[in-house]
Amino acid sequence: MDQFIFILTRPDNIPITMLLILVLVCLYTALKQAFKHDRLIEEGREDEIYEDMIK
């Protein structure tokens, strides 16, 4: 584990590490919204999806 952290924190690898974290945050946000919209569709409230997106 120490070697893995050493490689991640090297100056030339920091942008790659930050990019991976950013991708995971964006993926989490997108999936959270998708599941919320799917739940609204199942409940028959499709018109609320657009209102939720423009908030």
Handedness of CA 25, 31, 34, 39 (dihedral sign): negative
pLDDT tens-digit series, residues 21-55: 999 999 999 999 999 999 999 999 988 999 888 87
pTM over 0.85: no
> pLDDT class for 8, splitting at 50, 70, 90?
confident
Residues 15, 39: Cα–Cα separation, whole Å: 36
**Closest listed residue to residue 49, CA positions, set 34, 32, 37:** 37
